[in-house]
Every structure is written in structure tokens, then in C-alpha cells.
Amino acid sequence: MELFNDFIGHFQLREIFCNGNKFTWSNKQKNPVLAKLDRILVSTSWEMYYPTCFAWVKARVGSDHCPLVINTGEDGDSKPRYFFFDEQWLKREGFHSMVHNRWLYFRDDLRYSLDRWQGCLQFMRKYLRGWNLQLLGEQKREKANMIQRIMELDKIAEMRLLSIQEWEERIDIENSLDSLQKSEIYWKQKAGIKWLLEGDANTHFFHQFANGRRRKNMISFLECDSGDIRGQKDITEHIVSFYKNLFGPSENCSISMGNGFWPLEMKLNGEESSTLVKPFELEEIKGVVMDMKTNSAPGPNGFSVVFFQKFWDTISGDMMGMFEDFWGGNLDIKRLNFGVITLIPKIKEANNIKQYRPICLLNVDFKCFTKVLTNRLVPIAQRVVGKNQTGFIKGRNILDGIVVLHEVILELQSSKDKGLVLKIDFEKAYDRVNWGFLEQVMEMKAFPAKWIHWVMSTVRGGQVCINVNGERSSYFKTFRGLRQGDPLSPILFNLVADVLGILLDKAVAKAEGTAPLPARFLFSAPKPSQPAALDSITLPCDNLSADGGAPAPVARTPSPCPATTSQRRRRLPKVHHGEAISVRPQAADGGAPSGSASQTHRHCWRLQIQSSILF
């Protein structure tokens, strides 16, 4: 075995992981012994030649070993090449002035700001495509000539000492190989690794990392009720059908909130309303653009955050014109509202469409609008969103819910009482939000009509396509849901989820003093707590009887009472969002706040909604 490992290390072989069965060998007995004995190893040069290769395990028939099949990833059809703004262009001499002059040249003094903006982007995209094709040819020849000359000088150095002029020539060539640094930036974008700094060497490792990431996200097959789905066309049709159904029209919302549903302190006042709908300022928009992460993926038009930041002085006037029309209600923002849904596997070797998380890559110009709205809403949300919600609310700790849950369990343990903890997940929480209900929530919270119109115009009317293995499907309209990837989505979901918190509070208040109570929340005085994730809640209860009263499970509800909920039982300790929940007290350095901070959180025994991490 040691000799075999030395062989792998000597030739730098890498394993291509296989989809399908976990084990590849069986002794085919009644109580079988299973093992993974078969693997696919490839050299780095082979992987560089076939970066999208993938493999799977076939059924074991007539042998004790499973056949392994590898696909080079070349289906024979050339994939479409989509435009994207490449960071390496910025290092070309004269590029900034070229873009500035071309933008002004393309700019047509049309009266409507959106026509002018989209016209400039369309012409700039077409121009940069042609310019890049010419650049690539020149750059490739330039690099090859410089490298060839360095090799010639190195061969001369093996036979004799180089002259001063030859050494200076070699140093000058190395300094001229700035294109290698540009190549590093390209692979940084492709691999998406933050720790690849511009000064690092562009080795085969980074190419392997990018190829491995692409292969990891590649969907080679999907399982469904009718069997396995393979082939790019069939996989794409299956995925598009799934999301068309998910984002399709929903039933009319049957919940109606009366004028007295929200307490007065959770409604907007006049000053807050005026702040939300005040005219937009250029510095406000510039701050949003400059604060965006430069390594985020661009939307379907291909223009990245870097383009907006580097050429802000050139495009700011046209951007401000659109915001002025938006404030006046004259901007048809749905013309910017396009997104590409990229599927990120939730688990290793995902093979079901439900095991993928849809992240919507929106155009940066559209995200500028939603980010400006988000920045205006965040300070107000601190007051109008229930104190029990900790996710995406400035000044609140994402771990508060875990602290409360831990204390609930400890108090149950110390008092020797019996209790039940229900963890309820909202299936596809973002994707199932009813737009009409969201609008009703904002109306009942006294948001100004102008603001509601702005928000709903960014939520409604959007179109998305699905990126499947580097190919985009046709665009289709959505009729419900909040998109993961939109800066405004998390806080809008907070507003919707706040309704559940109020309903639970009202239920507890109505039930207080009633005996016996089949299921009631712990610590009814001051109030119960339900720590949770942004898309789930956790309900601590007591006095639960099998004949009546478990709250109805919303989706996946692991429960210690299978007679009531038909769900499986779980025991403590349990890891909840990276923190161990146990009946044992946590150490001072175990991640939970102690002392006065902990006591402060215990005064909010209500629905706690805690954010999940959005990629």
C-alpha cells in the first residue's frame, strides 16, 4: 500500500469522485460486506485537457465490482459563450480612456433614461466582444515570444555566463510578463477563491481548483420518480419544469390582517415614512456601488461590480437619471429585472433537484436599486420588526436564538420538568412567499404607498433562466417568491415571518389562564421563545399529551412524539447552526454569551428567527 501511495504521489494523480453508489464492491452475501475498492485516478495534464470530466457508478451485474464510467465532458456540441466583463482588461494600457470615450460615443441623448442606459450597455458589450477577440490573439503571441526568449537565454546560461546585456534583457522580459498576472486574476474569478491574492503564482494547482469547482457543480444526472435523467437536454427540461412550477402562480392568500393586528409601536411613523421616500441623491447611490463586493458574479448582461466601480464617473449621470425616473414612478424597472439561477449543491454528490439551492445572479444595475432601498429600510426595520428576529437586522446577534434555546433546555433540566422542542422548517421558504401577502404586510405596517409601489415593482415582473452546466435555458416569468441573491429579499422575508411571531404571541396571550393546556410554550411569563433559523422555527413546549395538541408541522418536524407527528425522535446533544445544544451548561468560552447579555436575551421569550447563510 505504501508503494501504491508513493506511485500516486510521484505522478501527482487526482481522484475523480463518482456519483451514485457509495460502495463499489460487495461479497454478495446475505449480510454483505461493502467496500469502496474501485477509484478513477487521472494525471493533472489529463484533467487540464478535460476540465469538465465526471464519472458515475453503474449497477453491479454478474460481478462483485461495480463498473465505473467516466465522461470527458465533451458532448460534441459547442456551448454558447456569454459575455462577461473581464478584470484583466483593466490592466491594459489605455483601456480606461477607451471605455470612457466609447461610452460617450454610444450615448444617445434620448429623453428616456432607461433607453439611453440599455443602449449604452448593448453597444459597449458588442464593442468589447470584438476588442477582446483581437486582444486574445495578440496577447497569446506576445506571451509565447517572451517565454521562448527566456528559454533561449536559460539554455545559453547553462553553457556560459550571460553578459550584462543578456541578464538585463531577461529581467526586462520577466517584468513585461504582466499578462501572467492578468491570467491569475482570470482564474481568481473562475475559481471564486478569496485567498488567491494577485501576488501568488499561477500554478497548475489553481487551474485544478477551478476545474474541480466546475466539476463539483456539474449536474451529470438527476433522480426522479420515473428513474434517472441523463443528458444535457433532458436534465435542463426537468430543472426548468421544476422551477416553473415552484415559481408559478399561487393561490390567493386567505389570511387577512385587520387594522389592529400590529401594535402601534411596530408601525411606521411619519418621519420614518418621509425618510423612505425622499428623493435619491448621487452620493447615496455611489456609496452603494462602492460598497458592493468586487468578487461577486455578474448578472445576465455580464457587467460586473468592478465595471461600475472603475467607470463610475463615466456612467453616474445616466445611472442618476434612472433613479430620478424611478422616484417619479416613470421607470419600467422590469426591463432590468433579469436573473440567472445558478444551482449550488447543498450536500456532497447531490442527485435530486431538491438538493440544490437556487441562487439568482441579478444584473448589477438592478441590484443598485434594491440595495439603495435596503439601506433605507434597515434602520427602520430595527424598530418595526419584532425583537425576536435576529437575522439581517443591524445591531442584533445571529446567535441570540441559539442562546435562548440552550437556556430553555437547561431550565427544563434543572427543574426536572418534561418538555418538547419542535424544530419546524419552512420548505422553500424564500421561493414560496406570496407577493400579495407581502404587500398586505407593508400596508398594515403603515408603509407609504410610494414605497410599497417601489418594492413591489422590484419583486414583480422579473424573468429568470436556469444555468445548467454552463448553458442557460430560456427565460420565464415568476409569480411568487423572493430571490436569493437580491439584497432586499432577507429583510422582506423578515417582514413576512413577523406575522407568524405576532400570531404565536396572540395565541399565547389568549391561552394564558386556561387549564389544562395540551400544548403551551415554556416561560409564558414573561413570554415564550422559539429560537430558529431564517427559514425555520423552534418551539419549546410543555405538558404535551398524545391526544391533543402538537402544533401542526409546517414541513420537516423532527419530534420526540411520533404518535402525534409521525416524525423521528432525536436526542441531545444536537448541533444547531454550528453550536452544540446540550443539557450540560456551556463553558464561558463555548460561544454563548453569559452574564448581563444573557439575561437581556431572556426577556424576549418569543419567536426568534435567525438568518441562514446566503451564498
Query: pLDDT per residue over 481-517, tens digit each?
Result: 998 889 999 999 989 988 888 887 777 777 665 544 4
pLDDT at 349: 76
Q: How far apart are CA 522 and CA 606, in angstroms?
A: 10
Is 80 contained in some domain? no
The answer to the question of residue 229 being in a domain is: no
Least reliable range by pLDDT among 46-60, 163-177, 460-474, 569-583: 569-583
Give the span between the Cα atoms of 607 and 507, in whole angstroms.
Answer: 12
Task: Supply 305's cell numbers.
Answer: 461590480
479 within a domain of the structure (yes/no): yes
> 406: burial class by Cβ within 10 Å (0-12, 13-18, 19+)?
buried
My answer on whether 38 and 113 are in the same domain is: no
pLDDT at res. 290: 96
Question: Is residue 157 one of the residues assigned to a domain?
Answer: yes
436 and 489 within one domain: yes
Domain boundary among 200, 216, 232: 216
pLDDT of residue 529: 37
Check whether 152 has a pLDDT greater than 50.
yes
pLDDT at residue 193 is higher than 70:
no
In angstroms, rounded to a whole number, what is the distance separating the alpha carbons of residues 473 and 378?
35
C-alpha span between 528 and 366 (Å, rounded): 40
Count of domains for the chain: 3
Q: Based on the domain organization, do 207 and 64 belong to the same domain?
A: no
Tell me which DSSP letter residue 253 carries.
P
Let me know whether 136 and 22 are in one domain: no
Grid cell, residue 86, equals 473581464
Rg of the chain, C-alpha, whole Å: 29
Nearest alpha carbon to residue 20 among 62, 91, 71:
71
108 and 18 in one domain? no
Residue with the bigger pLDDT between 401 and 466: it is 466
Q: Is 222 helix (H, G, I), strand (E, B) or coil?
A: strand
What's the pLDDT tens digit per position in 298-341?
Answer: 899 999 999 999 999 999 999 999 999 999 999 999 999 999 99
Residue at 91 is within a domain: yes
Residue pLDDT, tens place only, 389-422: 777 777 777 677 777 777 777 877 788 777 777 7
Instruction: Give the total residue count for the chain.
Output: 615
Distance from C-alpha of 614 to C-alpha of 482, rounded to nearest angstrom: 13
Whether the ω angle into residue 516 lies within 30 degrees of 0, i.e. cis, is yes
Domain termination site, one of 38, 71, 104: 71
Same domain assignment for residues 100 and 44 = no
Same domain, 66 and 166: no
Find all residues with CB under 8 Å of 512, minimum gap 6, and list them: 524
Same domain, 52 and 175: no
Point out the domain boundary residue: 12, 42, 71. Answer: 71
* Residue 348 or 556, more confident: 348
Distance CA 254, CA 481 (A): 17
Residues 207 and 338 in one domain: no
CB atoms within 10 A of CB 300: 20
Average pLDDT over residues 38-67: 79
- Please determine, for residue 15, whether its predicted confidence score (pLDDT) is greater than 60: yes
- How far is the first Cα of the chain from the last one, in angstroms, to the nearest whole number? 40
- Give the pLDDT score at 605: 34
Cα–Cα distance measured from residue 510 to residue 456, given in angstroms and rounded to the nearest whole number? 34
If pLDDT is split at 50, 70 and 90, which confidence band does 183 have? low
> Which range of residues forms the domain containing residue 547?
243-276+332-601
pLDDT of residue 80: 78
- Asked if the structure places residue 234 within a domain, the reply is no
Distance of CA 131 to the CA centre of its chain: 32
- Return the amino acid letter for 279: P
pLDDT of residue 98: 95
Work out the pLDDT band at 435, boundaries 50, 70, 90: very high
Give yes or no: residues 67 and 112 share one domain: no
Q: Helix %, strand %, coil % for the chain, to 5?
A: 45, 15, 40
Asked if residue 447 has pLDDT above 90, the reply is yes
The answer to the question of residue 173 being in a domain is yes
For residue 134, the number of C-alpha atoms closer than 13 Å in the C-beta half-sphere is 5
Residues 457 and 556 in one domain: yes
Q: Is residue 82 assigned to a domain?
A: no
Q: Which residue has the cell 443598485?
A: 368
Helices (H), 359-419: 364-384, 400-415
CA distances from 64 to 21, 37, 61, 557 (A): 14, 11, 8, 40
Over the stretch 76-126, which tens digit does the pLDDT of each residue have? 566 778 898 988 788 888 999 999 999 988 887 777 899 999 999 999 999
The answer on 398 and 485 residing in a single domain is: yes
